[in-house]
């Protein structure tokens, strides 16, 4: 298949490049409008009890909690002056009336709770039909703000809708800054690695194609389902990072084939048949890992899966189809604007093969030491505490956080959210029977441990919205006990009681994730095992890869817990620890780390398998495979670290968490696991690394992801390479 693809791409190189340019322009024009189509939030399961309760209350009782807080300060007037009222009400009128459910101000309520000491500062609490509406209609917010600032008033926006606006603006700004800063550095590093400006620019070409293509794909997906704005960060990281990895592998292999004496067309075909196959397998393993996110009902996680898969698959297509067409056109000109006379091609012995030999001389010592390091790093995850998302994900200078602090200090408004119950009665709430039932239910609620108050805040027919206050914060154990108590309460006449609010949402989020996680693990591990079996013709290699990736994952999550939950390095990294880890982040980290670890595993095992097929000597194959891929893996890791490093500088805490987790995972995987633990393990396993029983050997021979004649036969079994296998002259390699 890949040999055929190589011929097609080489023969039609001009057509491929022309189509790529047209598609890139169209995708860029369409995809850059994606920011206006994305949503915030999406951390909860809409089908959970808390999700169903919120939907029921919003559809029948209307939303009661404020979404947008408009904090206003007048240097001259007080709230007693008519001019102050006129200016504020004129500004609020900029919000579309159809989107506003209710607006509460000092003048509408005459409550002193809306006025700070001195009377110059007040706020308006606006309840919206949809909290996301302002993100998609920024013009109304701009008009509101300008009407106040033009009149000489200070204005700051807060509340959930204000936080959404703040996050959207910062995500776009973070991406722009990270791209503008990382691209020049990447180009310099690529020039140093390749020694040629032309060769160095090609991986960036693949990265650009993958990003604009993924943006266009995501915008298309938003036409029939919600996609979280945070998916854009992941698309940019993976699209640029993996595209550079794939470009590095393809360009390096092309230059290796040229150095072996092949002309540019033969070199291109061989590059697609070998490195192109490796890229395809690698992209498939990463996509399989990301596909596990699609099993979760949370929009945030599904969006990350959609965006990540789009970025990875488009990067692979660009690397395996478009890049070879460009290489076929360039030929030896790939080394134009060279910084050195000759370009090193990894052959024979060198640093990486010597390292492999050192490890394989004492495999037990190195394996035990490597696993011990991973275990120590993983230990903090045993004490992980899961929480939710609040305004603390934003930096201290964020407008939303400033509003929250002013409300607490000057107005006495705390951030403790009530537990809300959607209680459906056997009789209408307004009837005498309904009132009697509701009275008994409120009395039962007030007797629950931790509850300090219960009141009805809305009703419609037989449905009553009941708000509970309690001691402590919304994510404390005491609040969780209150939710459990309400859910376990049974009062005659109350047909159904659904509980919602931040505490209930967190409980349901953890339950939903816990219920889906085993299925995700089974699907991802099973699909990965099958894919690696078909790629490498081994039973133990896929199992080893999965187990070592789990070890890397555990160590990464331990470091994340130590940093973001315990607050270590918070001053240096620029965030405020909340004392817990947001519940969806470990799932996303698991997926990304598993996928990226498989990326390097495929790079390494491809060349080891090639050498083993050639010689039948497991130890020599490991050393040769390490020598051929050590520099590539290290270079790829360095380049993707640059990309992730700039994106992990995001001002949003959980985006920073994802970046730090990926950095830790890549460093551990590229330097410790791939270069120490893997060769030690393969030395101990010996020829059993490639063992296949007869029936499975025949399956691999028929369905394996390889070219015709890619595996040698031993003892009559196709693909069963071993010490007795006949070496093949000049085999087509797979990495």
Residues 130 and 218 in one domain: no
Q: How confident is the model at residue 328 (pLDDT cuts 50, 70, 90)?
A: very high
The closest of 599, 565, 595 to 581, measured between CA atoms, is 565
Average pLDDT over residues 574-583: 83
Q: How confident is the model at residue 734 (pLDDT cuts 50, 70, 90)?
A: very low
The closest of 340, 376, 326, 32 to 201, measured between CA atoms, is 326
Q: Which pLDDT score is estimated for 717?
A: 33
Residues 174 and 305 in one domain: yes
CA–CA separation, 295 and 515 (whole Å): 11
Name the average pLDDT for the chain: 85
Give the rounded percent of residues in the chain with a pLDDT score beyond 90. 42
Residues 160 and 181 in one domain: no
Beta strand spans in 185-229 (E): none
Residue 452 belongs to a domain with what CATH number? 3.30.70.100
Q: Report the domain count for the chain.
A: 3
Average pLDDT over residues 393-403: 82
Residues 173 and 82 in one domain: no
Residues 14 and 54 in one domain: no
Least confident window among 111-115, 265-269, 424-428: 111-115
Residues 425 and 362 in one domain: no
- Does the residue 135 lie in any domain? yes
- Does the residue 397 lie in any domain? no
Q: Which pLDDT score is estimated for 485?
A: 95
Q: For residue 604, how far is the Cα from the chain centroid?
A: 25
Q: Which residue has the tokens 């950095």?
A: 663
Average pLDDT over residues 412-437: 87
Q: How confident is the model at residue 389 (pLDDT cuts 50, 70, 90)?
A: low
Q: How confident is the model at residue 263 (pLDDT cuts 50, 70, 90)?
A: very high
Average pLDDT over residues 319-329: 95
Residues 240 and 333 in one domain: yes
Residue-range definition of the domain harbouring residue 323: 2-39+169-374+585-685
Flag whether pLDDT at 21 surpasses 90: yes
CA–CA separation, 535 and 315 (whole Å): 20
Residues 318 and 207 in one domain: yes
Flag whether pLDDT at 97 surpasses 90: no
Q: Which pLDDT score is estimated for 137?
A: 64
- Distances from the Cα of 222 to the Cα of 26, 230, 303, 492, angstroms: 17, 14, 10, 45
Q: Which pLDDT score is estimated for 267?
A: 93
Q: Which pLDDT score is estimated for 630?
A: 85
The DSSP result for 131-145, as a single string, is: TTHHHH-HHHHHHHH
Helices 540-560 and 363-378 sit at what angle, rounded to 10 degrees? 40
- Does the residue 624 lie in any domain? yes
Residue 658 belongs to a domain with what CATH number? 1.20.1640.10
Residues 174 and 161 in one domain: no
- N-terminal to C-terminal alpha carbon distance within the chain: 16
Q: Which residues of 673-684 are buried (b: 16+ CB within 10 A; e: fewer)?
A: bbbbbbbbbbbe
Residues 487 and 368 in one domain: no
Q: Which pLDDT score is estimated for 463?
A: 95
Q: How confident is the model at residue 83 (pLDDT cuts 50, 70, 90)?
A: very high
- Does the residue 478 lie in any domain? yes
Q: How confident is the model at residue 635 (pLDDT cuts 50, 70, 90)?
A: confident
Q: Of 450, 479, 506, which marks where a domain is finished?
A: 506
- Does the residue 727 lie in any domain? no
Q: Of 131, 150, 165, which marks where a domain is finished?
A: 165
Flag whether pLDDT at 383 surpasses 70: yes
- Does the residue 285 lie in any domain? yes
The closest of 249, 327, 284 to 6, measured between CA atoms, is 327
Looking only at the bridges linking them, the beta strands covering 451-460 and 494-500 are unpaired
CA–CA separation, 57 and 466 (whole Å): 10
Flag whether pLDDT at 346 surpasses 70: no
Average pLDDT over residues 171-177: 74
Q: Which pLDDT score is estimated for 190?
A: 83
What is the tens place of the pLDDT at every residue in 23-73?
A: 999 998 998 888 778 787 778 888 999 999 989 998 888 766 788 899 999
| CB 325 within 8 Å of CB 17 | yes
- Does the residue 694 lie in any domain? no
Q: How confident is the model at residue 180 (pLDDT cuts 50, 70, 90)?
A: confident
Q: Which pLDDT score is estimated for 713?
A: 35
Q: Which pLDDT score is estimated for 236?
A: 82
Q: Of 145, 165, 185, which marks where a domain is finished?
A: 165
Residue 124 belongs to a domain with what CATH number? 3.30.70
| CB 681 within 8 Å of CB 551 | no
- Does the residue 267 lie in any domain? yes
Residues 6 or more apart in contact with residue 169 via CB below 8 angstroms:
none
The closest of 735, 301, 352 to 535, measured between CA atoms, is 735
Flag whether pLDDT at 595 surpasses 90: no
Average pLDDT over residues 226-242: 83
Flag whether pLDDT at 343 surpasses 60: no
Task: Please tell me which of 456-460, 584-588, 680-684 the model is most confident about, judged by mean pLDDT.
Answer: 680-684
Q: Which pLDDT score is estimated for 347?
A: 52
The closest of 429, 410, 259, 264 to 344, measured between CA atoms, is 259
Residues 423 and 488 in one domain: yes
Residues 6 or more apart in contact with residue 535 via CB below 8 angstroms:
281, 602, 605, 606, 704, 705, 706
Residue 408, classed as helix, strand or coil, is: helix
The closest of 64, 71, 70, 65 to 410, measured between CA atoms, is 71
Residues 322 and 435 in one domain: no
pTM: 0.78
CA–CA separation, 523 and 518 (whole Å): 9
CA–CA separation, 394 and 392 (whole Å): 5
Residues in the chain: 735
Q: How confident is the model at residue 375 (pLDDT cuts 50, 70, 90)?
A: very high
- H runs (alpha helix) in 68-158: 82-92, 106-109, 133-136, 138-150
């Amino acid at each position: 298949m890949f040999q055929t693809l190589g011929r097609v791409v080489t023969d039609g190189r001009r057509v491929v490049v022309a189509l790529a340019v047209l598609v890139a322009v169209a995708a860029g024009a369409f995809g850059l409008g994606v920011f206006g189509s994305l949503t915030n939030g999406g951390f909860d399961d809409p089908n959970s009890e808390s999700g169903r309760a919120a939907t029921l209350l919003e559809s029948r009782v209307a939303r009661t909690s404020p979404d947008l807080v408009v904090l206003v300060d007048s240097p001259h007037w007080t709230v007693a002056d008519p001019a102050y009222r006129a200016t504020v009400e004129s500004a609020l009128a900029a919000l579309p009336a159809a989107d506003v459910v209710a607006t509460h101000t000092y003048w509408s309520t005459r409550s002193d709770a809306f006025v700070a000491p001195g009377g110059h500062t007040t706020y308006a609490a606006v309840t919206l039909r949809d909290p996301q509406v302002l993100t998609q209609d920024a013009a109304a917010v701009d008009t509101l703000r300008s009407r106040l600032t033009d009149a000489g008033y200070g204005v700051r926006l807060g509340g959930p809708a204000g936080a959404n606006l703040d996050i959207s603006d910062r995500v776009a700004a973070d991406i722009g800054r990270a791209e503008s800063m990382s691209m020049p550095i990447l180009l310099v590093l690529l020039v140093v690695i390749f020694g040629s400006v032309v060769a160095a620019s090609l991986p960036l070409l693949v990265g650009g194609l993958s990003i604009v293509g993924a943006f266009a794909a995501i915008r298309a997906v938003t036409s029939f389902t919600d996609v979280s704005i945070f998916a854009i960060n992941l698309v940019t990281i993976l699209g640029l990072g993996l595209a550079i990895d794939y470009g590095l592998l393809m360009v390096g292999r092309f230059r290796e084939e040229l150095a072996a004496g092949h002309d540019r067309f033969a070199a291109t075909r061989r590059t697609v048949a070998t490195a192109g196959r490796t890229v395809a397998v690698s992209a498939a393993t990463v996509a399989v890992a990301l596909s596990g996110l699609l099993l979760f009902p949370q929009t945030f996680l599904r969006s990350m899966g959609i965006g990540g898969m789009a970025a990875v698959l488009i990067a692979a297509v660009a690397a395996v189809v478009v890049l070879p067409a460009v290489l076929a056109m360039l030929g030896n000109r790939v080394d134009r604007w060279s910084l050195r006379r000759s370009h090193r091609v990894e052959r024979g012995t060198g640093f990486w093969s010597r390292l492999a030999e050192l490890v394989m001389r004492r495999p037990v010592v190195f394996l035990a030491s490597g696993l011990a390091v991973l275990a120590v790093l993983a230990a903090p995850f045993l004490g992980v505490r899961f929480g939710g998302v609040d305004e603390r994900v934003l930096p201290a200078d964020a407008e939303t956080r400033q509003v929250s602090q002013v409300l607490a200090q000057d107005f006495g408004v705390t951030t403790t959210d009530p537990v809300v119950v959607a209680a459906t009665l056997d009789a209408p709430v307004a009837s005498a029977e309904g009132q009697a039932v509701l009275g008994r239910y409120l009395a039962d609620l007030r007797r629950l441990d931790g509850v300090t108050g219960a009141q009805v805040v809305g009703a419609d027919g037989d449905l009553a919205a009941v708000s509970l206050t309690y001691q402590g914060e919304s994510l404390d154990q005491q609040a969780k006990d209150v939710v459990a108590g309400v859910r376990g309460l049974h009062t005659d006449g109350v047909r159904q009681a659904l509980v919602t609010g931040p505490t209930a949402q967190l409980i349901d989020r953890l339950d939903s994730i816990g219920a889906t996680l085993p299925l995700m693990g089974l699907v991802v591990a099973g699909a990965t095992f099958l894919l690696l079996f078909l790629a490498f013709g081994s039973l133990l290699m896929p199992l080893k890869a999965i187990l070592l990736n789990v070890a890397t994952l555990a160590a990464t999550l331990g470091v994340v817990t130590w940093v973001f939950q315990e607050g270590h390095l918070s001053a240096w990294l620029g965030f405020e620890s909340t004392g817990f880890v947001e519940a969806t982040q470990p799932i996303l980290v698991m997926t990304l780390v598993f996928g990226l670890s498989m990326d390097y595993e495929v790079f390494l095992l491809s060349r080891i398998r090639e050498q083993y097929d050639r010689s039948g000597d497991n130890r020599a194959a490991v050393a040769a495979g390490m020598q051929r891929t050590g520099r590539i893996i290290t270079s790829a890791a360095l380049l993707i670290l640059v990309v992730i490093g700039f994106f992990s500088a995001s001002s949003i805490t959980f985006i920073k968490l994802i970046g730090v987790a990926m950095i830790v995972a890549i460093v551990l995987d590229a330097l410790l696991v791939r270069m120490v633990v893997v060769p030690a393990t393969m030395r101990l396993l010996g020829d059993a690394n490639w063992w296949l029983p007869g029936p499975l050997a025949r399956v691999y021979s028929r369905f394996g992801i390889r070219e015709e004649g890619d595996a040698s036969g031993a003892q009559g079994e196709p693909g069963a390479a071993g010490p007795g296998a006949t070496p093949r002259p000049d085999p087509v390699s797979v990495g």
